[in-house]
Amino acid sequence: MSGARLSDKNALVCGGESGIGAAIVRRLSAEGATVLAAGVQVERLLALADEAHVLTAVCDVTDQAAVTRTVDRAAALPGGLHIVVNAAGIMHADNVGDIEDAVWDRLLAVNLSGTMRVCRAAIPHLIAANGGAIVNVASVAAFNGSAGMASYASGKAAIVALTRTLANEYGRYRIRANTLCPGWVRTPMSEAEMAEVAQHRGITVEAAFAELGDRIALRRVAHPDEIAASAVFLASDEASFVTGAVLVADGGARIPATARAP
């Protein structure tokens, strides 16, 4: 890293207090950007502020008033708002036949509508700054038909469509919008998933992750910083002609076209 690629940029990262979001916050800051990390976990935000020397804001992306305040605060930084990253997300396992309305509504409210609300609030500020970059974090679940991912995958797939329409409509204002779709990443969310798998199968969490890695071309799950590097590329001027794109960072997990054993 140069440590100065983004020295003239101001960035807002929603869902920036943990996991992939926190890694993106750290990476943006290390590249010289002034970063406002927003989320709902206050203690993690405070710790991140001390560690990465960033600004923080408590923001629930299901609350439009909170979103507006947070986006306006980021846009009030000297020079305006240049980069918006939507990394806020939650996960719950379900199938189409057993989806609960409350779970479906909650996942879409956070993962999809939350992303939309932040983008909607940010667009006027990005236009005022003569353009900028939006990076919406989705998931390879948007393309995979995995069992147990009905509500989650639906929301993530919709983020891809939302981002592409945004890119088409606002490209005239020099706003670029791209979707980042990670595969398996070692985060608190994936730790919780693997803990359930480990308990069900009577193995350790590390063993569960190892078995998972065996199904990935690179034979491992990602570190959050690897996904953050992809996000920073999409946010930077190095991706100046990239918009409406989907960057899949899954270590090659989607390469196999069948379930045929190796």
From first to last of its 262 residues, the chain has per-residue pLDDT tens of 445 789 999 999 999 999 999 999 999 999 999 999 999 999 999 999 999 999 999 999 999 999 999 999 999 999 999 999 999 999 998 999 999 999 999 999 999 999 999 999 999 999 999 999 999 999 999 998 788 899 999 999 999 999 999 999 999 999 999 999 999 888 888 888 878 888 888 898 888 888 888 888 899 899 999 999 999 999 999 999 999 999 999 999 877 654 444 4
Span(s) in the chain for CATH 3.40.50.720: 10-183+223-248
Question: What integer pLDDT is reported at residue 256 of this predicted model?
Answer: 62
Which of 154, 151, 155, 165 is CA-nearest to residue 119? 165
From the list 31, 48, 75, 152, the catalytic residue is: 152
Instruction: Give the gyration radius of the chain's Cα atoms.
Output: 18
Q: How far apart are CA 22 and CA 18, in angstroms?
A: 5
Answer for the pair 12, 70: CB distance below 8 angstroms, yes or no. yes
Question: What integer pLDDT is reported at residue 138 of this predicted model?
Answer: 97
- CATH architecture classification, 10-183+223-248: 3-Layer(aba) Sandwich (3.40)
10 Å CB burial of residue 65 (0-12, 13-18, 19+) is exposed
Question: What integer pLDDT is reported at residue 162 of this predicted model?
Answer: 98
10 Å CB burial of residue 122 (0-12, 13-18, 19+) is buried
Q: What is the pTM of this model?
A: 0.91
**Cα distances (angstroms) measured from residue 2 to each of 29, 52, 68:** 12, 16, 32
CA 155-47-21 angle, 5° bins = 25
Annotated catalytic, 152? Answer: yes
